[in-house]
Structure 1
Amino acid sequence: MQRNISTRLLHAFVALAELKHFTRAAERCHTSQSALSVMIKKLEGMLGTTLFERDTRKVTLTPEGELFAEAATALIAEIEAAFDDMSEYVALRRGRVSIAALPSLAANGLPSVIVEYKHLYPGVKVSLHDALSDQCLALLRQGKADLALTAPGPDVQEFEARTLCSDPFYVVCPKEHALAGKKTVRVADLAGHEVIHLAKSSSVRQHVEILLREVQVVHSGFEVEHLATVAGLVKQGLGISIVPELTLFQFRQLGLVAIPLQSSKLVRPILVVRRKDRSLSVASQAMLKLIEKRLGQTAIPRKYKNF
């Protein structure tokens, strides 16, 4: 049977149980003695038993009242703890947020955002999953990530997604390469050059294949999973590669040249993605706001013209 017992009734009962005096209990509850008496009678009626023995000189708990006092005190403590906990989460003194992101963003861009976020909200736990596009969406689908920063794909349609920024592509090559002296590279300039590819499962490869439909290049025979491997192969003169701007930090230390690629078709959108059927927590909302502020379209400086 459903009972509508308010916390006001519980507080009135506990006050009288502790003070054993109607006047003092009414003062603690900021009410009148008559109103307190009415509340106690209402509670006794709901429970179907007498909770207090009353006479002209004292108020004492009945055996049933003593049992209920333990339960009522515990209930009030739990309710107050729940409100205190929720206040901590709402004020961002506690909480957690999980992000899934493409490896390029997870290594270059997001770390500085996370540092700033943890400085603002040190009590909130942040976790980061670096994964390819399909894996980012899988983590979001499974509830293991609150937000995903990923590239477009057919599975994105089941989520709420919007463009965070656009990631233009560059040609990377050794300093001695024929293309190294150019300020920009046209698609036609790639003809006849050996190209080192990322794996077909990567969003980079999917975008590059669209570009290479327009030009005849030589497949180097290398299709690798990691950008560090691409950089090493390019360094040894085994081919050139076409990579997004956000990945260029991988090539910086090897003395390679990065040249902007002229192509309106070859820009990789970076999306911020969330589930349609789940609201973001306060902690996740704050993270999303900071990500958009620091990594949004107008926030990313274009500074990698060359090394």
Structure 2
Amino acid sequence: MPPNISTRQLQAFLALDECRHFTRAAQRCHLSQSAFSAVIRKLEEVVGARLVERDTRNVTLTSEGTLFAAVARTLLADLDAAFTDMGDFIARKKGRVAIAALPSLAASALPAVIAEYKRSYPGITVQLFDALSDQCLQLLRQGKVDMALTAPGASLAEFATRTLCSDPFYLVCRHDHALARKRKLALDDLAGCELIHLAPSSSVRQHVDQLTRGIAVHHAGLEVEHLATLAGLIGHGLGVSLVPELTLFQFRSMDLVAIPLDTDVVSRPILIVQRKEGALSSAAQGMLELIEARLRSTGRPRRESLG
């Protein structure tokens, strides 16, 4: 077990080493001479060696005292550096924050937030993992990220969650599609549409399957992993698709139109997900506050030309 030595004792001993005089060293430490002498005696007891040679005129260090003075300076310097680092972490001058987010968020809304955060706290390292919902939760479970921004799913019971924003759904089609001129669509308007789907593992597909249950939509036979592929297929007249608002930036390179679905329930919540145990670091808390300030909103339905 390491000896129980206080910073007060170390500072007193180093003051004595520098002043080589008990009275002046005691004054520097704002102690009476008797109290100061007691501190030094106690330190010698803990160290188990005589550190100081005393006489009526001057003070000299023993060989053990000379060695201990070097140790004391190192200990105090390390302690000061540790507290400086801690202060930097608390003040968000240093640190790390890691976020897992759905690809639609990672590519659209989060870059501006991260850029703003980095301008305010340039010393903090920010990591962003763009992943599907299950992968986001696995990263959180493994402790690799501080928070996840994802859609609701079946694996959330072990986490703390709250809604960040609502992501309404749009029909994306070519400009010459029969529905392209409508400003809003009811779910029944989708009857007869040839739908191109995203992969069943995606949160988008899971919501679309729920939305279209009981509606006579047709499966176009095309099922893809990536939104860029989806845009290309729609652009060549192979079908239409239902996608959330946060993904619309992926469809701007084609001559396409996005039309909102006219019902409040046609949206997927975007959740902030955290581990239930443990508090966020100062750096992560700052990022969370900025995300909530910039992204906590509800999308407004609007017909949008994407060409």
TM-score, length-scaled by structure 1 = 0.95
Matched, 1:73 2:63: no
2:284 is equivalent to residue 306 of structure 1 = no
| CA distance in structure 1 between the partners assigned to 2:301 and 2:209 by the alignment | 26
* Partner Cα separation in structure 2 for residue 72 and residue 13 of structure 1: 8
Report Cα offsets for 1:159-190 as digits up to 9, x if no partner.
Answer: 11100001110000000000101111111111
1:223 counterpart SS class: strand
Question: In the alignment, residue 119 of structure 1 is paired with which amino acid?
Answer: R
Alignment of 1:284-303 (within 5 A): 284-297=284-297, 302=300
Deviations 1:195-224 (CA, angstroms, capped at 9, x unpaired): 000000100000000112121211111111
2:125: which partner in 1? 125
- Report deviation, 1:76: 0.7
Preserved contact between residue 93 and residue 123 of structure 1 (Cα < 8 Å): yes
CA positional deviation for 1:60: 1.0
Q: Aligned partners of 2:5, 2:53: CA distance in 1, in Å?
A: 22
Residue 171 in 1 paired to residue 171 in 2? yes
Asked if the contact 2:260/2:301 (under 8 Å) is kept, the reply is no
Match of 1:157 in 2: 157
Report the equivalent of 1:262. Answer: 262
Q: How far 1:47 moved relative to its partner? A: 2.1
Shift of 1:18: 2.6
Partner of 1:59: 59
| Residue number in structure 1 paired with 2:115 | 115
Paired residues in the alignment total 305
Structure 1: distance between partners of 2:162 and 2:126: 22
Contact 2:184 2:302 in 1 (8 A): no
- Counterparts of 1:79 and 1:252 in 2: how far apart (Å)? 55
Using the TM superposition, name which of 262-271 and 165-174 deviates more: 262-271
Distance in 2 separating the partners of 1:264 and 1:207: 14
Equivalence for 2:232: 232
Alignment partner, residue 134 of structure 1: 134
User: Taking structure 1 as reference, are residues 264 and 303 closer, same or farther at Cα in structure 2, changes over 3 Å only?
Assistant: closer
SS at match of 1:155: coil
Deviation for aligned residue 1:304: 5.2
Alignment of structure 1 residues 236-255 onto 2, 5 Å: 236-255=236-255
Residue-by-residue CA offset, 1:96-118 (whole Å, 9 max, x unaligned):
11111001110111111111111
| Structure 1 position 25, deviation (Å) | 1.7
Question: What per-residue deviation string (whole Å, max 9, x for no partner) do you get for residues 10-33 of structure 1?
Answer: 111111123222122223222222
The sequence identity of aligned pairs, in percent, is: 62
Gaps of 5+ in 1: none
Q: Per-residue deviation at 1:143? A: 1.2
Letter aligned with residue 235 of structure 2: K
3-state DSSP of counterpart to 2:156: helix
Aligned 8 A contact 1:208 1:266 in 2: no
Separation in 2 of the partners of 1:65 and 1:154? 65
Structure 2 unaligned regions, length at least 5? none
Taking the aligned partners of 1:205 and 1:256, their CA distance within structure 2 comes to 20
Q: Output the CA distance in 1 between the equivalents of 2:294 and 2:9.
A: 50
Q: Report the residue type matching 2:172 in the other structure.
A: V
Report the counterpart of residue 181 of structure 2 in structure 1. Answer: 181
Take 2:63 and 2:250, find their aligned partners in 1: how far apart are those partners?
Answer: 74
Aligned to 1:19: 19
Q: 1:304 to 1:29 in 2, by over 3 A?
A: farther
1:19-58 map, 5 Å: 19-58=19-58
Corresponding residue of 2:279:
279
3 and 211 in structure 1: CA distance in 2 versus 1, 3 angstrom threshold: same
Please report how far the alpha carbon of residue 263 of structure 1 lies from its aligned counterpart in structure 2 after TM superposition.
Answer: 3.6
Which one is further off, 257-266 or 108-117? 257-266
What CA deviation, in whole Å up to 9, does each residue of 1:28-83 have, x standing for no partner? Answer: 22222222111001111222221100111211111221222222111111111110
